[in-house]
Structure 1
């Protein structure tokens, strides 16, 4: 028996040997040593994750979905150290029983709508792989000779705790032991996820009360008075947003930036991670939109205490493939075609021609910024004067349809913002749940009424994420500037008022919106990602 992390060279001298990295691994190592079916074959290293990623265990559970299968493999690798190398493994040898409690803490806010089907599939796949594997699932080794080691049973129990945002009704919970005292296995977990109301709703701003959701999960599922002694306690957190108050820079809407219920976010996060560590809970944070969660995960890791030489926290930035984690957008161009748009400009053209140039530059910048990813963006075009008309809806941004629609706009009439914004709201409501609507509202003047302000407010402050930019070009008098600034303020999108005095500035503003972190990858600028 060799103990240590260095190369001991045991294989050169001994046909049978046991090498472990730490004394706490002896129990697991001895059990494997005496139960190995081929006596002269060296034991696999405990750090080898191959057994946890075997496709044969995951293919059926993931129903052939490649992205979900890879997600399961990454998640299981995150659990490996805790479930195989744990100080409490000695309980196995002493008592012949071993229990693992695994709680799934799930964000059910509206922004999770597009991701929930895959998250649900991954949860079931994770549960089945853990339950069925010979090291983690229920197991009784009848092949052992008498006197080798005690036979044992390892029971994996599952629980669920769903959360929504501050002040909203949380989702359902599933405790590790059912009402009749039986353990919740993978079958019971799958039935719970299918039969209960798991509707994604609420939220409204980008951050969520993730810390509050984790606290609720810990307090109710891992309550010492309601659980049996366990050798491993694991919380898997699925969320697509950062915690309120932990968004480092301006530009991201956060309705609770000062903290939740008067408690500063940093203080809440620190107390949570200390409580989880004290409760011997290993935490795995699964980032569904890594652009929004990566910095938050770093902040959690920074305040997680070290326990027995390790931090009981692991983060997984890419739960699914890049395509699943990437933000997709529906850009809605709302273009003024009133008579003033025919006014000549200093560069020898006219105002509507300048808008066409700006839109063309927008498309080119998106393609440059995202490469082939830009093909996933959709665009719609609304032309308006006293009335409003949708002349292009849901076309690929990189296609010829969008510039053709803008080229077809004819100049005529006066200006009415309300009708144009109602048309924009219609397109926002038609936008698929897996896309973020981005409205670019452009005018060279203003509307003296007040009906347009509540339209923007209602459009942008609902349950889904909507971004709005008010672009004022050419006519930059004080009255028009005040109206467009107020429209931008109603949207609550950060830095969303744009002022362009000529065509050159208009092109630059459109390019800046296309390249800016907010409409492409909000967190890059919002939380200072390196």
Structure 2
């Protein structure tokens, strides 16, 4: 059946059980031309036998194992006309990690944090104690949607015997052509991007001569044809280039598994990608008892995974909010502009198809009043409520924070309350601190931001910083000296509603 001119024993040696499937395939296709004799092999020691070896350079454990095997076979090899085939992908002393990045326009809001996360992951892996004896190399492959020009690539080998390290990745990501653009509809050609990464970074095997291969995929959209949400526009619902998405997914995941690539999917917007990830997992073959795939959005809380938030705006309306600002307006007007920018950023992040954010508005001076509760963030109700705020009176934080706590407690269990507490001054008492502590340190997740605008003296800064510290929300104190900074702070909070850093850290740890 094999077309051999004569029959003789053949022996297969693999360095690790995970290489067995690949080894068997190569075993029946290997020839002397395909796998030459190593220069230091003493073929004559085995008489008439043929030694076909592709041993990994520098792989001490594998070399020792092969030498022991050959010693045990010497008597047979001398007596018989035998052939030994050693099959390995390459050295396990090298670990190749490719970052496969969605560079479509919808990633714009996430891109600064994703870049920082990728560099942090690369540095953490270089310093990881389990990889201390390995050479860790990185690659980058960026993709856009169907028919669009893909982003640049960075290969593992930097040339002249050097490899791509974390510093090189950081420099590469800072390139001027690393710009999010294109797309249009919500889904992306994620499978096409992953296929391009595999075909150009990991193939042929000479580009990545190792059995330790990883692909980390960062995307905020599902694959064309694998969209779970009804009403989501999909310009390629029938598949890309005539191939059904389910078929393409199965083919890709089998190719990655066959190529010893362990894939990690970092979902940026799990409300859109969860079903896609489930479908990938369903078609990923089991290799040596495990599926070489991990998805990371299970690390979100249930509400964050569905992208469901209740934003509670707590806005100071005391007399000082009528003070003129340097841009020709006044302070309360600046707050309205910041709130509008906040709404626009959240709409951009959700692509207007995610689960609907809700919002409430509290106005306060000496007293506090809930003037809007549980309205759709993108509706006209929220800006109308903010526009209705009238300037008057002095400032009392405690009453405002009690009203915020009431709304937090009334927030549905499937949503995360996010309190944006804004003032242009401070309250000299201390009753407000335990209110924030009780509100934010209970059994449910509550996020709290203390925004100090315009009046940035030392006393007010100290009070607002302490409020932020009581909440235990990371980086939750915001200082804005003018309207421009206030708008920027609100936009930054809107972009931070999903814990991308937590996901990135989890990927690095894995």
Q: What TM-score comes out, normalization by structure 1 length?
A: 0.45
Q: Deviations over 1:217-275 (max 9, x none)?
A: 00000112542420211111111111000114531111111111111111111110111
Deviations 1:173-208 (A, max 9, x none): 000001434111111111111235221111111111
Instruction: Kindly state the Cα deviation for residue 169 of structure 1 after the two structures are TM-superposed.
Output: 1.1
Q: What's the offset of the Cα at 1:298?
A: 0.4
How big is each residue's C-alpha offset from its partner over 1:429-478, in whole Å with a ceiling of 9 and x where there is no partner? 99999999999999999999999999999999999999999999999999
Change (3 A) 1:92 1:255: same
C-alpha distance 334-196 of structure 1, shift in aligned 2 (>3 A): same
Aligned to 1:477: 457
Q: Structure 1's 87 and 172: CA in aligned 2 closer, same or farther, altered over 3 A?
A: farther
2:350 aligned partner: 370
Whether the aligned pair in 2 keeps the contact of 1:237 and 1:283 (CA below 8 Å) is yes
State the Cα distance separating 1:112 from its structure 2 match: 1.0
Q: Which sections of structure 1, spanning at least 5 residues, go unmatched?
A: 1-6, 140-154
Aligned 8 A contact 1:106 1:239 in 2: yes
SS at match of 2:475: coil
Cα deviation, 1:333-355, whole Å, max 9, x if unaligned, reads 99999999999999999999999
Partner of 1:376, secondary structure, is coil
Q: State whether residues 398 and 431 of structure 2, in contact with CA within 8 Å, keep that contact through their aligned partners in structure 1.
A: yes
The alpha-carbon deviation at position 118 of structure 1 amounts to: 1.7
Q: After TM superposition, where is structure 1 displaced by more than 3 Å over at least 4 residues in a row?
A: 7-97, 318-530
Decide whether the 8 Å contact of 1:92 with 1:98 is kept in 2. no
Is the contact between residue 33 and residue 43 of structure 1 (CA under 8 Å) also seen in structure 2?
Answer: no
Q: 1:14 to 1:487 in 2, by over 3 A?
A: same
Asked if 2 retains the 8 angstrom alpha-carbon contact of 1:86 and 1:231, the reply is: no
Within 2, Cα distance between the matches of 1:391 and 1:520?
32
Aligned to 2:12: 18
**Taking structure 1 as reference, are residues 189 and 330 closer, same or farther at Cα in structure 2, changes over 3 Å only?**
same
The answer on 1:387 being equivalent to 2:381 is: no
Q: Residues 300 and 453 from structure 1, CA distance in 2 versus in 1: closer, same or farther, beyond 3 angstroms? A: farther
Counterpart residue number, 1:152: none
**8 Å Cα contact 1:249/1:525 also seen in 2:** no
2:105 to 107, 110, 132: 110
**1:247/1:526 contact within 8 Å kept:** no
Query: Relative to 1, partners in 2 of residues 1:52 and 1:369: Cα closer, same or farther, differing over 3 Å?
Result: farther
Instruction: Measure, in 1, the Cα distance between the counterparts of 2:51 and 2:370.
Output: 50
Change (3 A) 1:330 1:504: same
How far is the alpha carbon of 1:295 from its aligned partner? Answer: 0.8
C-alpha change, 1:381 and 1:31, in structure 2 (3 Å) is: same
Q: Deviations over 1:266-302 (max 9, x none)?
A: 1111110111111111111111111111110000010
**1:230/1:254 CA distance change after superposition, 3 Å:** same
Please say if residues 337 and 412 of structure 1, whose CA atoms lie closer than 8 Å, have aligned partners that are also in contact. yes
SS in 2 for 1:90: strand
Any stretches of 5+ residues in structure 2 without a counterpart?
Answer: none
Q: Alpha carbons of 1:201 and 1:440: their partners in 2 closer, same or farther (altered >3 Å)?
A: farther
C-alpha contact 2:142 2:152 (8 A) present in aligned 1:
yes
Report how far residue 165 of structure 1 moved.
0.8
**Residues 52 and 115 of structure 1: is their aligned pair in 2 closer, same or farther, counting only changes over 3 Å?**
farther
Q: 1:131 to 1:361 in 2, by over 3 A?
A: closer
Deviates more, 1:121-130 or 1:291-300: 121-130
Contact 1:75 1:316 (8 Å CA) reproduced: no
Query: Residues 161 and 172 of structure 1 are in contact (CA less than 8 Å); yes or no, is this contact kept in structure 2?
Result: yes
Partner Cα distance (1:442, 1:429) in 2 = 20
Query: Aligned in 2, Cα 1:240/1:475: closer, same or farther, shift over 3 Å?
Result: same
Residue 442 to residue 56, structure 1, CA distance change in 2 (3 Å): farther
Measured on the aligned residues, the alpha-carbon RMSD in Å equals: 19.0
Counterpart CA distance in 2 for 1:449 and 1:183 is: 59
Judge conservation of contact 1:101–1:233 (CA < 8 Å) in 2.
yes
The alignment covers a number of residue pairs equal to 509
Contact 1:335 1:382 in 2 (8 A): yes
| Residue 504 (structure 2) aligns with | 524
Is the Cα–Cα contact under 8 Å of residues 109 and 164 in structure 1 kept in the other structure?
A: yes
CA contact (8 A) 2:362 2:368 kept: yes
Cα pair 2:226 2:276 within 8 Å, conserved: yes
Mapped contact 1:11–1:17 kept (Cα < 8 A): no
- Of the structure 1 ranges 55-64 and 306-315, higher mean CA displacement relative to structure 2 is found in 55-64
1:317 aligned onto 2:297 = yes
TM-fit CA distance, 1:103: 0.4
Provide Cα deviations, 1:361-401, integer angstroms capped at 9, x if missing partner: 99999999999999996989999999999999999959998
Residue-by-residue CA offset, 1:55-99 (whole Å, 9 max, x unaligned): 999999999999999999999999999999999999999999611
| CA distance 1:473–1:100, change in 2 (3 Å) | closer
Q: Contact conserved, 2:217 with 2:265, CA < 8 A, in 1?
A: yes
Cα distance change of structure 1 residues 194 and 527 upon mapping to structure 2, 3 Å threshold = closer
| Alpha-carbon spacing, 1:423–1:346, altered in 2? closer, same or farther (3 Å) | same
- Which residue of structure 1 lines up, in the alignment, with residue 193 of structure 2? 213
Contact 1:161 1:171 in 2 (8 A): yes
> Which shifted more, 491-500 or 304-313?
491-500
Change in Cα spacing, 1:271 to 1:25, as seen in structure 2 (3 Å) is closer
